[in-house]
Amino acid sequence: MINKVVTGADEAIRDIKDGSTLMLGGFGLCGIPENCITALVKKGVKRLTCISNNAGVDDFGIGLMLQQRQVKKMISSYVGENAEFERQLLSGELEVELIPQGTLATRCMAAGYGMPAIFTPAGVGTEVAEGKEIRNFNGKDYLMEYAFDADFALVKAWKGDTTGNLIFRSTSRNFNPVMAMAGKITIAEVEELVEPGTLDPDHIHTPGVYVHRIFQGANYEKRIEQRTVRPRN
Amino acid sequence: MLDKNGIAKRIAKEIKDGYYVNLGIGIPTLVANFIPDGINVVLQSENGLLGMGPFPFEGEEDADLINAGKQTITTLPGSSIFDSAMSFGMIRSQKIDLTILGAMEVSENGDIANWKIPGKMVKGMGGAMDLVASAKNIIVAMQHVNKAGESKLLPKCSLPLTGVNCIRKVVTELAVLDILPEGGFKLIERAPGVSVDYIKQVTAGKLFADDGAPEMILD
């Protein structure tokens, strides 16, 4: 039986080095690879290019890596409220490429499906289209967008087995499955690591073939960014 | 003149039974509060959920269950969860019947600007460019004039564009307007107590209003 298990985040990220390109799953702070981020902060690797829908908040998620000046470039769709991010951007320390959210997801998907590029209408006629090839299909213009090329994908799943099969929970799925498919090396951290045969094959979201290393994470904070509730009656 | 809830209430009347709807942040989110009884709609949240329910009761928040505004929410019977690529796949392939979003500016040929103000910190376009480029039916909820009293319904947008030639209907605090295929805003309804002359005065883009327009009925 193939076994992808590593001891923890430190071993999983051992060969991430200065200048690596990383994908990080999650939407806002939901479904982010918390343990891998902590390990990257500890390791102190620098000049990283991070492909992630968002950039965390000041003191959590990718924000922790920004505080340590580990990120050279962010490729995101929305960078939201993050004072340190804003400071580094305005001072020129940090490079940011903003791309439409669907384009971001689909460029991951293309990489995982072995397709070099996709055509999307998102951004046609806007500054996003500058310098990009445009093709007309059935009377409508589309931009050609390339598949991402990432050294590592860091994803967070709910359950996984030792062969790398993954199941995600609720909307913490978001970018995780498409990024898992797209990394040259994909590292999955899971809340619960189980033996093969425990997970129903029909319920697997990401087949283990896409996952190179897996470990059971610890101490998940799962911080809520916008706590919204309704009164009982 | 309508307040934000009034705009949301008027837009809710455009929703038909069986629609799949994507609501943007701000006034569009309020539309969910005014969907008429007997109209069944499924709300899409582009982070990967169809069938968005109300906010959870206190103590029942689930960090794994949020909407695109990062707010804690709930699911409903019939909800489904999917990844971000599929989420935008259903947007691009026009499975979503109606998209409602906010705007900073809209032009008379249906261009929209809602993501970037030069000189200010740019947060990003999120899913807005994907939505406006693909949706077949987009309603913009916006204020007719900015804080300086200048029209936001323009001959041409001055801000960086989110999408071109894609908006067909605008609902403001003053009026409901269609954007004609050949260009220009056509006044369809006036908000209670607002005159055609006033709407003409605060619409910088080409306005077709000579036939007048009825006052909108909200209830």
pLDDT in tens, B104-134: 999 999 999 999 999 888 899 999 999 999 9
Q: What is the pLDDT of residue B219?
A: 79
Low-confidence ranges of chain B (pLDDT < 70): none
Q: What is the pLDDT of residue A83?
A: 87
Q: What is the pLDDT of residue B212?
A: 86
| Residue with the two structure tokens 């969907």 | B35
Distances (CA, A) of B128 to A99, B103, B124: 10, 10, 9
Look up residue A55 and give its DSSP letter. -
| DSSP assignment of A158-188 | EEEETT--EE--GGG-TTHHHHHHHEEEEEE
Largest CA distance in chain A: 55
Q: What is the pLDDT of residue A50?
A: 98
pLDDT, tens digit (0-9, with 9 covering 90-100), for A136-149: 999 999 999 999 99
Q: How many CB atoms lie within 10 A of CB B169?
A: 19
Q: What is the pLDDT of residue A197?
A: 97
pTM: 0.96
User: Would the pLDDT of A37 be above 80?
Assistant: yes
CA distance A73 to A62: 12
Q: What is the pLDDT of residue B46?
A: 97
Interface test with B, best of A54, A91, A101 (most B CBs within 10 A): A101
CA distance B34 to A88: 42
Look up residue A156 and give its DSSP letter. E
Q: What is the pLDDT of residue A24?
A: 98
Nearest to A154 by CA among A1, A41, A2, A59: A41
CA atoms B184, B188, B191, B196: torsion sign: positive
Rg of chain B taking only CA atoms, in angstroms: 17
Nearest to A182 by CA among A115, A122, A128: A115
B64 touches chain A (CB under 8 A): yes
Choose the closest CB to B133 out of A86, A124, A227.
Answer: A124
Distance between A168 CA and the closest CA of chain B, angstroms:
10
Find, in chain A, the residue whose alpha carbon is nearest to that of B88.
A102
Number of CB pairs < 8 Å for A and B?
175
User: Would the pLDDT of A59 be above 90?
Assistant: yes
Strand partners, B66: B72
Tokens for A167? 């199941």
User: Would the pLDDT of A80 be above 80?
Assistant: no
SS3 content of chain B, % helix, strand, coil (to 5): 20, 25, 55
Cβ atoms of B130 and B88 within 8 Å: the answer is yes
Q: What is the pLDDT of residue A108?
A: 98
B91 CB neighbours in chain A (<8 A) are 102
Nearest to B209 by CA among B181, B176, B182: B176
Are A105 and B57 an interchain contact pair (Cβ–Cβ within 8 Å)? Answer: no
Q: How many CB atoms lie within 10 A of CB A76?
A: 25
CA distance B116 to B129: 12
Are A30 and B70 an interchain contact pair (Cβ–Cβ within 8 Å)? Answer: yes
Confidence band (pLDDT; 50, 70, 90) for A51? very high
Distance between B95 CA and the closest CA of chain A, angstroms:
15
CA distance B130 to A124: 10
Choose the closest CB to B85 out of A78, A80, A178.
Answer: A178
CA distance B160 to B12: 29
Are A106 and B88 an interchain contact pair (Cβ–Cβ within 8 Å)? Answer: yes
Choose the closest CB to A105 out of B88, B111, B133.
Answer: B88
Cβ atoms of B85 and B64 within 8 Å: the answer is no
Cβ atoms of A108 and A69 within 8 Å: the answer is no
pLDDT, tens digit (0-9, with 9 covering 90-100), for A169-225: 999 999 999 999 999 999 999 999 999 999 999 999 999 999 999 999 999 999 999
Report ipTM for this prediction.
Answer: 0.97
